[in-house]
Amino acid sequence: MVQSGDIVTLAAGHYRLRGQLAASSYGVVWRAECIGFGVGEVALKLVNREQMARAEPSLRERWRACAEREIAFLSQLTPWDARHIVRLLDHGVHDGLPAMALELLDGDLSTHMAAQAGDGRRIGLGQSLAWLAQVNAALAKVHQHGWRYLDLKPANLLLDKASRTLKLADFGTNRSLLDAAAHSYAGTASWQAPEQFFPSAPQAYLTDARTDYFALGAVFFYMVTNGATLRYSGACADAWRAHGLDGAARLREACGGALPPVLCEDEAAHFLRCAGSGDGSGDGNPGAALALLRALLAGQREHRPRHALEISRMIAAAQGGLGFHDLRRAA
């Protein structure tokens, strides 16, 4: 087990661990000091060996595969591609498992939102739309490279305070868009589209790029309402915590065999009130913002926007009819 002070050697340099920043099922992220060349501090991501050790032996290769998938995707990106995607600085093997050094940013969106709420502030519709455009651009790049992301949530959106921009991180859940077959469960229950939480057959989930757009809508609701989450998302999260993979069937039983409603009318009204409350950042068009939210959160994926350009146009309308060049500056 690694600890603070340990040195990890990758392809381009050596990194001294300074303190753990975050952990998920598959990875552990450390703040680390680069030794010997001028990168400064980085976020060093290692495989979560403790979780890997608890898994069934037949499943342990999944931890390695997630890290390798993330490195493969990030290695394809040019600096321009990575404008709203966390940058890969170095990678290699540590203790027999893949490891990577990433740019160090200023915390995630959930931490930022909690701090804002604690100070009695909110980011408002104008900033929410600007950030939504940035995340949409990041998803467009993921899809362009042939992947669906499948784990969009505030914890995977990192904030660069200097430029006041968001960057997408954590790509181990990526699945190929070329493979249209149903796949095993992936992602985080509290941010998932219906087709990602409720299987089409036992432990078989049919998703595509539009599945990411549902999560984009859930994040949009979260930003505009100052950190609130959909009741639908909370119900899925509770069912998963209580019953794991059986949670979807239990939740359907509780709803009389139907899927729970995604966006209730009182939630839509709350979103509209928050969107129209004004924040001094250019505000935007609350009605168009609600139309965008409804489109992203459509219960059936065929009713969601087809691609990022369609979403960009709806964002522009919600921003008050900004032109294309204005939209690019906002992003």
- Does residue 324 register a pLDDT over 50? no
- Residues 213 and 195 sit within 8 Å (Cβ to Cβ): no
Out of 58, 82, 103, pick the residue that ends a domain. Answer: 103
Domain at 78, CATH number: 3.30.200.20
- Are 125 and 238 contained in the same domain? yes
Token pair listed for 92: 């290699």
Beta strands in the chain (DSSP E): 7-9, 14-23, 27-35, 41-47, 88-94, 97-103, 147-148, 157-160, 165-168, 175-176
Per the structure block, which two tokens stand in for 10? Answer: 């990758």
Distance of alpha carbon 43 from alpha carbon 127, whole angstroms: 26
- Average pLDDT estimate for 107-111: 95
Which domain does 130 fall in, by range? 109-330
How far is 268 from 15, CA to CA, in rounded Å?
48
- Asked if 42 and 184 sit in the same domain, the reply is no
Per residue in 124-153, pLDDT tens? 999 999 999 999 999 999 999 999 999 999
pTM of the model: 0.92
Q: Domain check: are 255 and 218 in the same one?
A: yes
Give residue 313's pLDDT: 97
Residue 174 lies in a domain: yes
Shared-domain flag, residues 222 and 161: yes
Asked if 318 and 287 count as a contact pair (C-beta separation under 8 A), the reply is no
What 3 state SS string does 28-80 have? EEEEEEEECCCCCEEEEEEECHHHHHHCCHHHCHHHHHHHHHHHHHHHCCCCC
Which of 61, 88, 103 lies at the terminal end of a domain, its last residue?
Answer: 103
- Same domain (yes/no): 145, 292: yes
Structure tokens given for 265: 């009318």
If one counts the domains in the chain, the total is 2
Among residues 183, 206, 182, which one has the least CA distance to residue 194? 206
Do 146 and 92 share a structural domain?
no
- Per the model's pLDDT, the better-predicted residue between 111 and 57 turns out to be 111
Residue 103 burial (CB count, 10 A): 18
Distance of CA 114 to the CA centre of its chain: 17
Considering the domain boundaries, does residue 2 fall inside one?
Answer: no
Chain centroid, CA 207 distance in Å: 16
Report if residue 150 sits inside a domain. Answer: yes
307 shares a domain with 211:
yes
Q: Please compute, for residue 204, the number of CA atoms within 13 A of its CA located in the half-sphere on the CB side.
A: 6
Domain co-membership, 71 together with 87: yes
Residue 168's CATH number: 1.10.510.10
CA distance 213 to 192: 10
On whether both 75 and 123 belong to a single domain, the answer is no
Q: For residue range 242-281, what is the model confidence (pLDDT) as tens digits?
A: 999 999 999 999 999 999 999 999 999 999 999 998 644 4
30 domain-assigned? yes
Q: Evaluate whether 58 touches 38 at the Cβ level (below 8 Å).
A: no
209, 302 in Cβ contact below 8 A? no
The answer on pLDDT for 331 being more than 50 is no
pLDDT of 78 higher than 90: no
Q: Which pairing describes strands 147-148 and 97-103: parallel, antiparallel, or unpaired?
A: unpaired
What is residue 321's predicted lDDT score, i.e. its pLDDT? Answer: 64
In this structure, the answer to whether residues 266 and 321 fall within a common structural domain is yes
Tell me which of 119 and 165 has the higher pLDDT: 165
What is the distance between the alpha carbons of residues 189 and 205, in angstroms, rounded to a whole number?
A: 13
pLDDT at 172: 87
Question: Whole-angstrom Cα distance, residue 42 to residue 91?
Answer: 12
Q: Looking at the predicted structure, is the pLDDT value of residue 45 above 70?
A: yes
pLDDT in tens, 186-233: 999 999 999 999 999 999 999 999 999 999 999 999 999 999 999 999
Question: For residue 170, is it within any domain?
Answer: yes
Q: Name the DSSP letter for residue 263.
A: S
- 95 shares its domain with 113: no
Look at residue 86 and tell me whether its pLDDT is greater than 50: yes
Q: Which of 29, 171, 24, 154 is CA-nearest to residue 103?
A: 29
Given 103, 119, 140, which residue is the final one in a domain?
A: 103
Q: Are residues 230 and 305 in the same domain?
A: yes
1 domain residue, yes or no: no
Contact between residue 52 and residue 23 where contact means Cβ atoms under 8 Å apart: no
Cα 245 to chain center, whole Å? 21
Side chain identity at residue 102, one-letter code: L
